[in-house]
Amino acid sequence: MRCYLPMSKSEFARFMESSQMPCEILYVPTSALALEYGVSDEEEAEYAALELARTDAELIKKPLIVALELSEVSIASGSEIKAGVVTGKYSISYPDIVALYLIYGADDELEWYDASESAICMAKIGE
């Protein structure tokens, strides 16, 4: 299942160094999020989760959203604290990354990078 995690440049750098890290909050395309956004397609729910992650990332000044592919079983071990936001004890690793999204401004499109382009993405983050 695709889920999203906002990160700062320094958090992502530490993650890349160790290739794994714990996290407690994930943005997930849950059925509650799909209902709230009025979507029924899985792809639309994933987009809603990404947009929710973006909104929160902008509020907490984290310019990067990491898209991860995690098992539904590991995500289900958490608790949904609001539609699309799941909290729990997760361990993510580098192979879980499927894409990176850079946020430049509230009105700008997210800039997409493949996981293999993490160095290029890091060089563009202005922290």
| pLDDT of 92 higher than 80 | yes
Q: What is the pTM of this model?
A: 0.92
For domain 2-124, the CATH class is alpha beta
Question: Rounded mean pLDDT of 74-96?
Answer: 92
User: Residue 74's pLDDT is what?
Assistant: 82
Q: Among 3, 47, 48, which Cα is nearest to 27's?
A: 3
Three-state DSSP state, 69: strand
Q: Among 56, 54, 49, which Cα is nearest to 3's?
A: 49
What is the rounded CA–CA span in Å between residue 36 and residue 108?
24
Read off the pLDDT band of 9 (50, 70, 90): very high
User: Residue 63's pLDDT is what?
Assistant: 94
What does DSSP assign to residue 110? P
